[in-house]
Structure 1
Amino acid sequence: MGTRKVAIITGGSQGIGAGLVEGYRELGYAVVANSRSIAPADSTEADLVTVAGDISDPEVAERVFATAIAKFGRVDTLVNNAGVFIAKPFVDYTQEDYDNALRVNLGGFFHVTQKAVAHMAERGSGHVVNVTTTLVENASSSVPSALASLTKGGLSSVVKSLAIEYASRGVRVNAVSPGIIKTPLHPEEAFDTYAALHPVGRMGEIDDIVRGVLYLEQAPFVTGEFLHVDGGQSAGA
Structure 2
Amino acid sequence: MTQITNNQTLTAIVTGASTGIGYAITKRLLEDGMNVVMNARTQVDLLSAYDELKSLGNLAYVTGDVSKKATGEELVAKAVEAFGGVDILVNNAGVFNPKSFLDTEEGELDRFFAINFKGSYFAAQAAVPEMKKRGGGSIVNIGTTLIEHAIAGFPASGAVASKAALHSLTHQLSAELGPDNIRVATIATGIIETPLHAKQGIEDANVLAGLHLLNRIGKPENMADAVAMLVKNDFITGTTLRVDGGHAAGHNYG
Normalised by the length of structure 2, the TM-score is: 0.88
Specify the alignment match of 1:113 in structure 2.
Answer: 124
- Between stretches 40-49 and 62-71, larger displacement belongs to 40-49
Read off the aligned partner of 1:137 and give its amino acid letter: E
Misfit runs of 4+, over 6 Å: none
Corresponding position: 1:145 with 2:156:
yes
- Shift of the alpha carbon at 1:104? 0.7
- Which of 222, 230, 237 lines up with 1:223 in the alignment? 237
- Contiguous gaps of at least 5 residues in structure 2: 1-5
For residue 140 of structure 2, the aligned residue among 101, 110, 129 is: 129
- How far has the Cα of 1:193 moved from its partner? 2.6
CA shift for structure 1 position 2: 8.0
The separation in 2 between residues aligned to 1:2 and 1:44, in whole angstroms, is 23
2:24–2:224: 8 Å Cα contact kept in structure 1?
yes
Q: Spell out the pairing of 1:182-221 with structure 2 (5 A cutoff).
A: 182-187=193-198, 189-221=203-235
The alignment covers a number of residue pairs equal to 237
Q: Which amino acid aligns with 2:86?
A: V
How far off is 1:230 after superposition?
A: 0.4
Query: Structure 1 residues 163-172 or 77-86, which shifts more?
Result: 163-172
Structure 2 residue 8 is matched with structure 1 residue 33: no
Show the counterpart of 1:8.
Answer: 13
Give the aligned residue type for 1:34.
N
Look up the match of 2:189.
178
CA deviations on 1:36-72 (whole Å, 9 max, x unpaired) are 0121744975600011010111222211110000010
Aligned to 2:3: none
**Equivalence for 2:25:** 20
- The answer for the alignment partner of 1:102 in structure 2 is 113
Q: Secondary structure at the match of 2:47?
A: coil
Deviations, residues 116-172 of structure 1 (Å, cap 9, x unaligned): 112212332100000000001111123212112210001100111111111121100
Distance 2:240 2:54 in 1: 37
Q: Note closer, same or farther for the CA distance 1:207–1:93 as it changes in structure 2 (3 Å cut).
A: same
- The TM-score normalised by the length of structure 1 is 0.94
CA offsets, 1:91-119, max 9 Å, x none?
Answer: 11122211211111112112111011122
Name the residue aligned to 1:49.
60
Mapping of residues 149-164 of structure 1, within 5 Å: 149-164=160-175
| CA–CA distance in structure 2, aligned partners of residues 44 and 85 of structure 1 | 29
Rounded to whole Å, the distance in 1 between the matches of 2:153 and 2:204 is 12
Spell out, residue by residue over 1:172-207, the C-alpha distance to the aligned partner (whole angstroms, 9 max, x if none).
000111101000111364424311111111111111
Distance 1:148 1:196 in 2: 22
* CA–CA distance in structure 2, aligned partners of residues 191 and 86 of structure 1: 14
